[in-house]
């Protein structure tokens, strides 16, 4: 079955203190629903983007490690689910629920099949 990434996007200045108890419950309910449906493969929340490290290969094969995200953007991925869904339409159904539970924009993308 195809796997899909459902990624939650936060602005770079995201303040986790806005995550109230109701939002936490909504996310818990969504996780329980995904487990009951048998589609959740993996879920993870990420630390703030300011704690990220980026690696770039330099001439001669040396690797440069810098503080911060690889791309200069106004948003970053704050967390994600990996789901096994029959098709993009089913994955989008779960993405709609994620938007409501997380109160943030969501991106849904299919993984390449190996």
Phi first, then psi: what are they for 101, rounded to 5°? -70, -40
Distances (CA, A) of 94 to 10, 28, 43: 18, 14, 13
Number of neighbours of residue 54 by Cβ within 10 angstroms? 12
Q: What is the pTM of this model?
A: 0.85
Positions in the chain short of pLDDT 50:
none
**pLDDT per position as a tens digit, 39-59:** 999 999 998 888 889 999 999
Q: How far apart are CA 79 and CA 43, in angstroms?
A: 8
Distances (CA, A) of 109 to 13, 20, 62, 79: 24, 28, 32, 14
Query: How confident is the model at residue 49, as a pLDDT?
Result: 82
**pLDDT per position as a tens digit, 75-84:** 889 999 999 9
Query: How confident is the model at residue 89, as a pLDDT?
Result: 97
């Amino acid at each position: 079955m195809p796997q899909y990434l459902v990624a939650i996007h936060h602005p770079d200045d995201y303040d986790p203190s806005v995550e109230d108890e109701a939002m936490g419950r909504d996310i818990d309910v969504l996780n329980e629903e995904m487990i009951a449906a048998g589609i959740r493969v993996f879920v993870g929340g990420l630390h703030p983007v300011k704690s990220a490290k980026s690696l770039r290969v330099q001439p001669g094969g040396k690797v440069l490690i810098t503080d911060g995200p690889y791309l200069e953007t106004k948003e970053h991925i704050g967390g994600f689910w990996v789901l096994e869904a029959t098709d993009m339409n089913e994955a989008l159904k779960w993405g709609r629920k994620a938007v409501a539970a997380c109160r943030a924009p969501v991106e849904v993308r299919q993984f390449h099949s190996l």
